[in-house]
Structure formats: structure tokens, C-alpha cells
A and B are shown apart, each in its own frame.
Chain A
Amino acid sequence: DAGVTQSPTHLIKTRGQHVTLRCSPISGHKSVSWYQQVLGQGPQFIFQYYEKEERGRGNFPDRFSARQFPNYSSELNVNALLLGDSALYLCASSPLRQTLGDTQYFGPGTRLTVL
């Protein structure tokens, strides 16, 4: 079975622009989470979605938004990009409904560079 896939692999944007990152979960997984990983740090939680509803949100500004589609794929949108948004954006999927301790499986990430 295919793992979590993300697109694009790399992206270069300029300040003030908007970006959309995409994620397809492992087949059968209904929950998708997004994380931001700045160079040299651990991933930081941004959102979790289950059945198209937001189930959790990290400490990120409203410029960050996401949605989940009926096929459980997801998009992360970031508006008004700042230099500090440069990071690796990781998507993770899990099989069960927002269960504590549900193992999350990560995709390869999208490397976003903001100039």
C-alpha cells in the first residue's frame, strides 16, 4: 500500500504570497494532521482533521487554514507568507478516529522557502 503522499515536494514563494499544500493519506485512514518543522527543531502541530471537521488546532495564526475532502485528502493553505513560514510541512495520517495514542504515519513533506 502507498504511504502518505504530499505535493509539491519543494516550493519557493515570495513574501505576501499564498500557498496551498496537498496531502493524500494512507488508504483507509480518515484522520489527517499537519505539522510545521523549522530547520533544527522538532515538528510543531498545526491542525488535525477527521471526517472533514477540524478536531484540533495548534498555536498558529489565522493565516493558516486547512480543509479535508470527502476522499480524506487534505489541503493546507497559508496566506500572506512571511519569511518565518519557511519550513518543512509534514502531513500525517492515522487510521482511527482521533484516538489518543493513535499512531500517525508521516509523508515526505513539502519544503517551503519564502524569499
Chain B
Amino acid sequence: AQKVTQAQTEISVVEKEDVTLDCVYETRDTTYYLFWYKQPPSGELVFLIRRNSFDEQNEISGRYSWNFQKSTSSFNFTITASQVVDSAVYFCALSEARAGGTSYGKLTFGQGTILTVHP
């Protein structure tokens, strides 16, 4: 079964600090996709990044960076120089592979990490 664990329930930082959100996943599939979503207080999940299991290159997008390590089944997310607008709940998710011969895009989410950035 697929499982995603975000061990950090809540993180609180002061503006301009760097912060890393941890994500550990479990899957028996050799082909899978990992995602990060941001959920601000409004409730809508905002897509941040998608990474496939064959691409272990780290990625940087502005103040955001992601570290994918297949050996430890981790896909961690770092925000550099955090800002108050980064305050939100962040979810890591895993895309399920084939089920009974038919693949479908079910996402398995972690419990989420509440990030609060104080001015």
C-alpha cells in the first residue's frame, strides 16, 4: 500500500529563516510520482511541484527547492528566506500506479505540515 508520512505537524519560524519540510513515502511501485501542494487558509490546494521516480535531480524554483532521495524514500521541501505569505499547510502526495491493470491518478496525501511564518 502507498503511504506518505509528514512527521512535522507544525513548524513555526521567523521571517527570513530557512525552513525544510520533510516527506517520507512508501511504495512497492518502481514508477511513481511525488507532489507538493500548498493549502492556504482559503482551502484551495495549490500545486507546487511534480517529480517522477526516475528523476533524482534536485529542483530549485525561486525561494523553493526540493530534494528527492530515492535511497531514503524522501522528498523534502525547503523554503529559503521564508516570508509571511508562505504561511499555509503543505502536503506531500504520491501518485498511485497501476491497479488491476488500469492506472489512475489517485493521490495519496500525507497529514500535512502547518507552517507559520512570523514577521
Q: Are A and B associated in one complex?
A: yes
Listed in ascending order, the chain A residues whose CB lies under 8 Å from chain B are 31, 33, 35, 40-45, 48, 55-56, 58, 88, 90, 92, 94, 98-109, 111
Residues of A within 8 A of B109 (CB): 42-44
Closest 6 CB pairs of A and B: A42-B109, A101-B33, A56-B104, A106-B45, A108-B44, A45-B106
B21: Cβ under 8 A from any A Cβ: no
Contact A55 B102 (CB under 8 A): yes
> Quick check: A43 and B43 within 8 Å, CB to CB?
no
Write the nearest CB–CB distance from A52 to chain B, whole angstroms.
Answer: 15
Contacts of A111 in B (CB 8 A): 43
Kindly report which residue of chain A lies nearest to residue B49, judged by CB atoms.
A103
B residues near A (Cβ < 8 Å) are: 4, 31-33, 35, 37, 42-47, 50, 52, 91, 93, 95-99, 102-112
| Sample of 5 A–B contacts (CB below 8 Å) | A42-B111, A101-B52, A104-B47, A104-B107, A108-B44
Give A45 to B96 CA distance when docked, in angstroms: 11
Residues of A within 8 A of B110 (CB): 42
Contacts of A94 in B (CB 8 A): 105
Task: Identify the closest chain B residue to A54 (Cβ).
Answer: B104
Known: A41-B111, A41-B112, A56-B99. A99 touches B43 (CB 8 A): no
Q: Which residues of A contact B98 (CB under 8 A)?
A: 100
Give CA–CA (A106, B44) in the complex, Å: 6
A41 CB contacts on chain B under 8 angstroms: 111-112
Question: Please, which residue of chain B has its CB at the minimum distance from the CB of A55?
Answer: B104
Query: Which chain A positions have C-beta within 8 A of B42?
Result: 108
Shortest CB–CB separation between residue A89 and chain B, in angstroms? 10
Q: Are A102 and B105 in contact (CB under 8 A)?
A: yes
B43 and A108 form a contact (CB under 8 A): yes
Which listed residue, A45, A88, A103, touches B35 by the CB 8 Å rule? A103
In the complex, what distance in Å separates the CA atom of A100 from the CA atom of B32?
A: 7
